Amino acid sequence: MKRVLVALLAVGLVAAAACSGDTEEEGPVKMGFLNGQSGDYGPWGGWALAAAEVAVEELNAAGGVLGRDVELIVEDNGSTPEGAVSGFAELTEVDGIHALGGIESDGMVAIFETVHELQIPTICSTCGTTELDNTGGDMVFRIIPSDTDNGIVGAQVARDEGYRSVAMLVELSEGTESPANVFKAVFTEQMGGTITEDVRFNAGETTYAAQVAQAFESNPDAVYIAAGFETGVPLLNEWQRRGYTDIPMIFTTDLLSPEIAQIVGSVDGASAIVGATAYDTENNPAWDAYVPRFAEKNDGDPPEIAFYDAWQYDQYIILGLAMAKAGTTDGAAVAAAIPDIANPPGVEVFSYADGLAQLDAGNDIDYHGTTSNLNLNSVGNLLSPVMAVISVQDGDWAVRENIELDPTLVKPS
Amino acid sequence: MQNVIFGIVTGSILAVATLGFALVRQTENFLNIAHAQMMALGAFIGVVLVDTYGMNIFLAGAITVVGLGALGVVLSAVFFQPVRHQGGTVLLFTSIGLALMMYAAILALFGTQARFYPDVSGSLYRFAGINIATNELVIIGLAFGSIAALQLFLNGTGLGRAVRAVASNDDLARVRGVPVRTVSNTIWFISSAFGAMAGVMLGVLGAVNTEIGWHNILIVLAAAVLGGLRSITGVILAGLLLGIMMDVSALFIPTSYRPVVAFGVLVAVLILRPEGILSIQRRKDAVVA
Amino acid sequence: MTNPIFWVGVLTLAMIYSSLAMALNVESGWGGMWDLGIAGLLAAGSYCYVILTSDADLDMRFAPELSMWVAWPLAALFTGLVAFAIGAPALRLRREYFLITTLAFAEIIRQLVVIQADLTRGTLGVPNINRPFDSFVTGRDYNYVLLGIAVAAAAVMYLVTRQVGVSPFGRTLRAARDNEAVALALGKRVNRMRIKTFILAGVLIGATAPVYLFYIRAVSPQLFAPGITFTVWTALVIGGIGSIRGGLAGAVVLIVFTEAVGLIEVDPAHINILVAIEPFLVGLLLVLVLRFRPDGLFSERSAFGAGNRPSRDSAGDSRPAGATQGSGG
């Protein structure tokens, strides 16, 4: 015991000795990227990282941030909250990051308090958790729609399509259950719709045949599916094989993957629509500039309208511009500058270089990203997320129309 | 009735996976946690051969099964032989170490993106109100065919009888001059090959991702224990029953309770019939006297 | 550039895993009950603590908002109760049967947490865990407080488990593990002793649960996947099953090693390699320790002296679960 304690003490002392002074205002600007590169979020990790790299390359191509090189420091959290806590500690205490991006809902909730204590400006580009609906805005900003919005828009789409009864197929995870629960509440309480069957299931089952049968054979007008795309593929293989293809489907955004589009597209007359997500693809220079670079990162073979990746890009452009605006990498100052550069008033800009030029000229800017105008409200959420109705056309996902959330639909209590 | 069909498909794969696991448990006397990573490796190699190299699914499956069978022999020689005399505890934890290393190899070689077998489900047959797809028929057929082949091998060949001798009494088999090393290699080949085959089947029905091994080890462990650790027929029945039970239970209780049901039944069966579902003679080693 | 705070965090986590490994050692090392349900007991203690202390405005059906100093011991007691509920039926079983039953119970507990969402907030989880002394010490400095709490918890765990280990109770427990027939013949009430041990382990794990939550700062069901059970077991195996210091040393080695491996810098272009390094090296460490020090860093014999325990040759296979031949029931 004594020896162990002595050893512990020694490790602590060596570590303390190794600690040199903070090189706050020189050296590269360090952007942390904490994300599930392995584990359950692993399948998304590659695309997310590619998008982040596109952004950092853009920052460096424009001369870096505050005249300093930008370094992207990647840390895998293994898709667990424990990994997020220890990964965040490593990023802040060992690597000395100035800002953070990339993290998912459960990890964000775990490090939320620490982010504030350490004053690390953090943009959440993959967390829809309803937990952040009212708690951000000081240090944490979210640039994707909340799961609340995703649930409401799903119900809105169901109503507009004229569906009166819906069966639900919901994977048991935070990211899929949150929008599904909102959908269910809004659809039944505010629209008078009925849920014929609410089937919840775990990821990683051998097959989903029984669950698919249960939902589709309850005679619904449509089936609402909230699942990750890995479970979505076997699920839809079942759907196709069993011949349920005449029943239309409503998906959550996690199912926006090319594999899913292929399966749905291969069936004549099948209908699958996704309400929500916020790809702002019409007349948007930021989006137009981003797409070919992202494709190149993926060896010319990107997912068509992949989910989340563009937000991974937007977040680092925002952070770069906020640092330029603040004139420092100091956390509090950068966080305070984030709404300034994202919101009006100001000259609308669509890239880091343009934004930098306007800032140098002494103008206010309003950055418009690849995914939306990125205007933020006082709790760090998107003020008016651009929602889109996306459907499968010719075996690919395509935006059918952009819509706004019906203001008469409210968040269920 | 349809759910019974689903259950038989699930159960056939589970039986194949568990058989490989149980064989090692019976002959080498330890729980080989790395078995599930062999399944994951099988799913990945199969999907690469089919999807990337455009190979026929049956050819790809055969190459995967034989190749990983051979790999299993090599891994057992490198990892398990040197610590064999240390007993089951050390072997069990060595297999956890090996599982982590195989998982790392899968991450490094194949990356984390999910992969899918191109749709090989084939056409759908309907009769008497139920339906079944070609690939499901093939899976059931292959599963039972390979299990039957294994039984023939164990009962009808000299080597097979030697394997059974080792399974029932290692020391006695040694004394009687059974070629223990050859038998051990045979066992590892069969076990790994069955694991790989189950992996390819899982991949064909679902998605292939790096977590597939960890997701399946618990249920394999459960089926092996439920089947009784010494009975091959018991393991097959346990796999089928677990599969059918999970799919049929969906009709009576909310599907979210499905894993709870599976494990709840497992616990109940173990406590009521600790010797496993098939064994007639109560086995003394399972329960406190 | 390495800030001591990072290593303070690593040591905190190491102390938490040490505590869990030492508790596991009592039931599995000495009691011979191979428990794969650590995650379940940890979940029981964690959710008990969280439900008793969380703010009422989190919309949980039951939120008495107790003081953490009341909730902490209650969490330990509650986990002991859960252990009793699991142990009463499960302890009739031996070896793999016990192992799989505890594993099944752990999964059942985790699934119940997911399903009983109005009590636990389900997959959404609970943020802002109440932590002791956080009104006095804030920010980075709190990490030192947390390390102090974790070290104190580990020290208490060490003293308690050591006391159990050297007591007549501990000796009988080990004797019954090695030869149940003899223990029974000597008139020892082996089953009663085992259930007591199992409950004790539950209480100890439940008492550690809040410390784990102080470190994570939020709770959600995915914290209690079976992975955590395997990590605790790996720590104990590396340290030495059945020894007094094994759990402590093994967890420190494992966690410090894991986090140090995480410091290796890899170009993001080789992200596959980056994510593979850690499981590969941890797996290799486990394989190598078992190959060259199969008893772990500290062996049971060194802890209790030779003669207290049968020699290796006969001892190798005498562990009840996962091992080959049993003690004979």
| Predicted local confidence at residue C264, as pLDDT | 83
Mean pLDDT computed over C84-92: 90
User: Which of A108-117, A252-261, B229-238, C151-160 tops mean pLDDT?
Assistant: C151-160
What distances in angstroms separate CA B253 from CA A234, B49, B249, B260, C122, one per listed residue? 22, 40, 6, 11, 19
* B222 contacts C92? CB cut-off 8 A: no
Select the more confidently predicted residue: A54 or B247. Answer: A54
| Predicted local confidence at residue A34, as pLDDT | 95
In angstroms, rounded to a whole number, what is the distance separating the alpha carbons of residues A234 and A239?
9
pLDDT band at residue A166 under the 50/70/90 scheme? very high
Mean pLDDT computed over C159-186: 89
Select the residue of C91, C290, C322 nearest B88 (Cβ to Cβ): C322
Select the residue of C94, C237, C272 nearest B285 (Cβ to Cβ): C94
* A38 contacts B205? CB cut-off 8 A: no
Q: Is B265 within the bounds of a domain?
A: no
Tell me the average pLDDT of chain A: 86
CA distance B123 to chain C (A): 36
Q: Is B257 within the bounds of a domain?
A: no
* C93 contacts B111? CB cut-off 8 A: no
Question: What single-letter DSSP state applies at residue B77?
Answer: I
C283 neighbourhood in chain B, CB within 8 Å:
96-104
Chains with at least 3 CB pairs less than 8 angstroms from chain B: A, C
pLDDT band at residue C300 under the 50/70/90 scheme? confident
pLDDT band at residue B62 under the 50/70/90 scheme? very high
Minimal Cα distance from C14: which residue of A? A8
Q: Which residues contact C186 (CB under 8 A, 6 or more apart)?
A: none
In angstroms, rounded to a whole number, what is the distance separating the alpha carbons of residues C246 and C21?
8
Radius of gyration of chain B (CA): 19
Sign of CA dihedral B18, B23, B26, B30: negative
Mean pLDDT computed over B175-181: 78
Select the residue of A19, A82, A131 nearest C223 (Cβ to Cβ): A82
Q: Is the pLDDT of residue B281 over 50?
A: no
Q: How many CB atoms lie within 10 A of CB B78?
A: 11
pLDDT band at residue A241 under the 50/70/90 scheme? confident
B102 neighbourhood in chain C, CB within 8 Å:
283
Residues C192-201 as b or e (16 or more Cβ within 10 Å = b)? ebbbbbbbbb
In angstroms, rounded to a whole number, what is the distance separating the alpha carbons of residues A128 and A144?
7
In angstroms, rounded to a whole number, what is the distance separating the alpha carbons of residues A217 and A169?
12
Note the pLDDT tens digit of each residue in A324-355: 999 999 999 999 999 999 999 999 999 999 99
Coil vs helix vs strand at A206: coil
A235 neighbourhood in chain B, CB within 8 Å:
none
Note the pLDDT tens digit of each residue in C256-288: 999 998 888 778 778 888 889 989 999 999 999
* A199 contacts B211? CB cut-off 8 A: no
Mean pLDDT computed over B21-31: 89
The whole-angstrom distance between residue C235's C-alpha and the CA centroid of its chain comes to: 9
In angstroms, rounded to a whole number, what is the distance separating the alpha carbons of residues A52 and A293?
11
What distances in angstroms separate CA B150 from CA A168, B20, B193, one per listed residue? 43, 10, 11
Q: Tell me which of A206, A207, A240, A255 to substitute to probe the interface with B (most B C-beta atoms closer than 10 Å).
A: A206
Domains of chain A, earliest start first: 26-145+288-367 (3.40.50.2300), 148-276+387-403 (3.40.50.2300)
End-to-end CA distance of chain A: 53
pLDDT band at residue C2 under the 50/70/90 scheme? low
Q: Tell me which of B30, B85, B89 to substitute to probe the interface with C (most C C-beta atoms closer than 10 Å).
A: B89
Q: Is the pLDDT of residue C131 over 80?
A: yes
Select the residue of B10, B107, B114 nearest A230 (Cβ to Cβ): B114
Q: Is B262 within the bounds of a domain?
A: no
| Predicted local confidence at residue A276, as pLDDT | 66
In angstroms, rounded to a whole number, what is the distance separating the alpha carbons of residues C35 and C230?
11
What distances in angstroms separate CA A131 from CA A252, B192, C49, C130, one per listed residue? 19, 45, 20, 17
Residue linked to tokens 């439920």: B226
Q: Which residues contact B96 (CB under 8 A, 6 or more apart)?
A: B33, B34, C230, C233, C234, C283, C286
Note the pLDDT tens digit of each residue in A203-219: 777 678 888 988 999 99
C104 neighbourhood in chain B, CB within 8 Å:
222, 263-264, 266-267
Lowest mean pLDDT among A76-80, A300-304, C137-141: A300-304
Scan residues 246-285 of C and list those with Cβ closer than 8 Å to A.
248-249, 252, 256, 259, 262-263, 268, 271, 274-276
Note the pLDDT tens digit of each residue in A120-139: 999 998 888 888 888 888 99
Task: Read off the tokens for C327.
Answer: 């003690």
What distances in angstroms separate CA B263 from CA B218, B259, B281, C104, one per listed residue? 10, 6, 24, 5
DSSP string, C201-240: HHHHHHHHHHHHHHHH-SB-GGGGSHHHHHHHHHHHHHH-
Coil vs helix vs strand at B277: coil
* B111 contacts A204? CB cut-off 8 A: no
Note the pLDDT tens digit of each residue in B235-270: 888 888 888 887 777 677 776 676 677 778 778 877
Q: Is the pLDDT of residue C105 over 60?
A: yes
Residues A45-83 as b or e (16 or more Cβ within 10 Å = b)? bbbbbbbbbbbbebbbebebbbebebbbbbbbbbbbbbb
Mean pLDDT computed over C98-119: 89
Q: Is the pLDDT of residue A58 over 60?
A: yes
Q: Is the pLDDT of residue B288 over 80?
A: no
* Chains B, C: CB pairs < 8 Å: 171
The length of chain A in residues reads 413
Task: Read off the tokens for C301.
Answer: 């014999």
Of the candidates C112, C101, A176, the one whose C-alpha atom is nearest the C-alpha of residue B259 is C112
Coil vs helix vs strand at A198: strand
Find out whether C209 and C42 touch, Cβ atoms under 8 Å: yes
Tell me the average pLDDT of chain C: 87
Q: Is B233 within the bounds of a domain?
A: no
Q: What percent of chain A is predicted at pLDDT more than 70?
A: 90
**Residues forming beta bridges with residue A402, ordered by sequence position:** A388
| Predicted local confidence at residue B268, as pLDDT | 82
**Would strands A122-124 and A165-171 be described as parallel, antiparallel, or unpaired?**
unpaired
Sheet strands (E) in chain B: 124-127, 130-133
Mean pLDDT computed over C202-210: 97
In angstroms, rounded to a whole number, what is the distance separating the alpha carbons of residues A375 and C231?
44
Note the pLDDT tens digit of each residue in B101-154: 999 999 999 988 888 888 666 677 777 667 787 888 899 999 999 999 998 998
In angstroms, rounded to a whole number, what is the distance separating the alpha carbons of residues A194 and A210?
22
Q: Is the pLDDT of residue A273 over 70?
A: yes
Coil vs helix vs strand at A209: helix
* B107 contacts A209? CB cut-off 8 A: no
Note the pLDDT tens digit of each residue in C236-250: 999 999 999 999 999
In angstroms, rounded to a whole number, what is the distance separating the alpha carbons of residues C125 and B277?
38
Task: Read off the tokens for A384.
Answer: 């008016």
Scan residues 84-143 of C and list those with Cβ closer than 8 Å to A.
114, 122-125, 127-128, 138-140, 142
Q: Is the pLDDT of residue A413 over 80?
A: no
Note the pLDDT tens digit of each residue in A66-95: 999 999 999 999 889 999 999 999 999 999
Minimal Cα distance from A173: which residue of B? B256
Q: Is A31 left (phi over 0), alpha (psi -120 to 50) or beta?
A: beta
Select the residue of B209, B212, B247 nearest A210 (Cβ to Cβ): B247
Q: How many domains does chain B have?
A: 1
A204 neighbourhood in chain B, CB within 8 Å:
211-212, 215-216
